[in-house]
Amino acid sequence: MHPTVTGTTPARGVRKTSIRLADGRELIYFDDREPFLSGTATRSEIDTRSLPVMHTRSDVRYDVLTGEWVVLAAHRMNRTYQPPSEENPLAPTRPGRPPTEIPAPDYDVVVFENRFPSFSQPPAGTVDDTTADPAESFVDGEPLWPRRRTGGRCEVVCFTSDPAASFAELSQRRARTVIEAWADRTRSLSAMPSTRQVVCFENRGEEIGVTLSHPHGQIYAYPYLPPRTQSLIRQSRLHREKTGRLLLADVLDAERRAGSRMVLTGEHWSGYVPAAARWPLEVHLAPHRDVADLAALDDAEADELATVYLELLRRVDRFFPGVHRTPYIAAWHQAPVGADRDLGRLHLQLFSLMRSPGRMKFLAGSESALGAWINDSTPEDIARRLRDVAS
């Protein structure tokens, strides 16, 4: 099957080109350089691999003890894990090397459908249908254990074609292109009938289980509200009933008044360590304006975000003495799609499992079994260190 270009659109200094890979998955180039930006060059590369169409069927089961949904995706068990550099599936396809997930010999930013997604996806060109067969509505026919097919979508975001780079090392221009890609995908995925929340996130470092070292992130279109979002929406609803105001906006205002946990402040964004931080390194980044998601940012907010986010990541990399690249998880929490959207607010949660150089925080009995968190530091000390390592 030869993939075909399905559209090319310039927007905010980025040219977007969508193609189909050999197995029907979508891949989108976000180009910010000439000659692609002016349209004098186009993306015409073809995925030459012989790939069978992946048939995935995740199962989502309800945990009656916690009120949470659990995704079972057995097809991910044997997904690619730490391949040698010459077999990097996220590198560009270059002469003399095996073809990769990206047919082009170079790229700026690329987004494509995950070949091993957590959520079920219908075959290319079909309608997303998440309606469960009534006969499969319960595990073993027991009403205690509801189940359903997922829907949703999982995408991979490659921040750069350089496998040795990191997000913190991107130029401001390239970081802005990544933000544009996040916003574009948030807009598109939010329009899917099954989507309840879109989350963009990056896992970095073998210490936290990253399977591919190439600088990349992921975008999940969740077909249900994840547990943390459910908790946030519950607390936000209670806060609005009590005060008439938005919880996350009040949190940001309170942190800015207190000042002791503030890390950085711009015209449109502020970074702070939350007063009840759970991790030995944790920082949140939020816009000053009430914004539902990345797609709702205006040009000035998106431009400043590219600068502020890079500065924050570079401070994180200087946080631990002697550690060149701090392992971290960075997740963009966005407002739910549909019901309760007015109770959510865009914000970044970035945290590290590292508690000191070479030592990780393991989630043992208290955290894993009981959900009772114990931090080995204080939010004020974390914020102080992040201010001290400013460039």
Cβ atoms of 292 and 344 closer than 8 Å:
yes
Query: Is 55 designated active site?
Result: no
Cβ atoms of 382 and 375 closer than 8 Å:
no
Cβ atoms of 102 and 92 closer than 8 Å:
yes
**Residue 180: which of 302, 27, 346, 336 has the closest Cα?**
302
Whether the bond between 321 and the residue before it is cis, its omega within 30 degrees of 0, is no
Cβ atoms of 47 and 22 closer than 8 Å:
yes
What CA–CA distance (Å, rounded) separates 330 from 307?
A: 16
136: tokens are: 């499969």
What CA–CA distance (Å, rounded) separates 102 from 148?
A: 33
What CA–CA distance (Å, rounded) separates 303 from 325?
A: 25
| Catalytic hit among 214, 216, 239, 333 | 216
| Active site positions, annotated | 216
